[in-house]
Amino acid sequence: MIQAEPNISRSDMIRCVLCGSAPCGSVCGKLNPADLLRSIWFRNEQGAAGRLPEHNPCLTCPAPCERACVRAGEVPIRELINRLYYQVKPECETPLPADETRLQCDLCGIPLENPFLLSSSVVASSYDMLDRAFDAGWAGACFKTICTLDIHEASPRFSAVTGGDGSIIGFKNIEQLSDHSVAENMETFRRLKARHPRKFILASIMGQNEEEWAELARRCEENGADAVELNFSCPNMAEPGLGVDIGQVPELVERFTAAAKKACRIPVLAKLTPNVASMNPAAEAARRGGADGIAAINTIRSIVGINPHTYVSAPAVHGRSAVGGYSGAAVKPIALRFIAELAQNPALRGMHLSAMGGVETWQDALEFILLGGGSIQVTTAVMQYGYRIIDDLKEGLNLFLAEKGFGSVREAVGLGLDTLSPTAEVLERDTVVYPQFIRERCIGCGRCAISCMDGGHQAIRMDRNRHPVLSGRKCVGCHLCLLVCPQHAIRPRGKRAAVRAAQSSRPD
């Protein structure tokens, strides 16, 4: 059974660096520890357990994998595999599907092997890269934006906000568009289609006027593109009046969409900017211009990491910096909000939504699907971990669909929309859901009590044995304690009627 709370978490393998050609895999003759660890990292632990042989070879093994590790002795590989065997595998009620037919879907009527595409960026910028990505299992790619501009990039052009385990939480870039000529990119399309006829090529384009939008769309169709994506959202353009400057003006979105649509017969998607209060005006303008779908979100304008000695933000280019585009896991909640907004707009009904913004795991992708995403695009996770993440994206989602009884991923699209309201007035406010402490997991750290005391309603204290004790009279059921507990040792309990008078008498 797929668990909302994993049996094994990233913190259990925090010293693992997810090596390429990992030494741990080369010394094990029975398993591939590197693949199993990667699946744990990407929340596909049930898939990892399903791939294990019947008998556990680790029981009598001296663990040469741990000695071969680039951080020898620091990653408990044998323990993690044993936990897959004895904690995860017994809970697996659904065998791994024999094929990937459940993942088959479409983008504006054109078949996709699975919903996963590379998004327009450096990860989809050359023939050699996409040849490898398609062999790895990606259903297609949105090629890095094609233009007639003379592109010169800054160096360095990336920066990041990282977590305690070193993984990227938020990623900033100041990169622009493809620095290959239009002719070179057209040759790439032809070669890719010849080698991978079933893969989906989404051609991202950016013109400087209606004639250029039309000409680029026409040439992409003639050279094998399956659809065109109009880049109305890049926040990093050196020239004014392009990218995000278009996406913030619905009239321009409509005009340039119409120009591209008239020039080609293949589907046209408008890629919209999140640097607006609402995406609906631009999306409706794109529809008026003839767009068949919407792609969202692009990166969010950001400033990252001010150096306390030079006073320059990152990335610093010869002592200067600039506002850039923010992506990665940190933007996923914002991206989900925009996708839901588009999916719930009746004026956009029937349009394909190609969703992106912080997807790393199959569960991330599922959230976008449940809110209306018909296809999923990925960049930042690939930049950090490589094309190999497609294995766990496909396996995890396929297993979920099989366990839930879905015949196709299409059946899951939009299932989370009916319970979601854009405003809070619909929420029931007359009951309180208490937290419940799981004593066997609690280590007595007191984090719940500290957070409740200083950030909540002073409803938790620690007894003399370092056990948390709840005051039902004070608890308002905010669940801050659940979020801060490092052991996942608190869960929701039952409900009780709230006393509005008592609540209203408390100071803010």
Q: Where are the alpha helices (DSSP H) in 44-168?
A: 45-50, 64-68, 77-83, 127-136
Instruction: Provide the residue count of the chain.
Output: 508
Active site residues: 234
Q: Which residue has the tokens 């419940």?
A: 436
* Calpha distance 217→229 (Å, rounded): 9
Whether cis (ω within 30° of 0) applies to the bond prior to 40 is no
- Which residues are CB-neighbours of 69 under 8 A, at least 6 positions away? 23, 24, 75, 77
* Calpha distance 499→59 (Å, rounded): 56
Task: State which amino acid sits at residue 493.
Answer: R
Whether cis (ω within 30° of 0) applies to the bond prior to 23 is no
Could you count the other beta carbons within 10 Å of the beta carbon of residue 497? 8
Cβ–Cβ < 8 Å for 467, 444: yes
Could you count the other beta carbons within 10 Å of the beta carbon of residue 217? 27
Between the CA atoms of 234, 235, 241 and 245, what dihedral angle is there, to the nearest 10 degrees?
A: 90
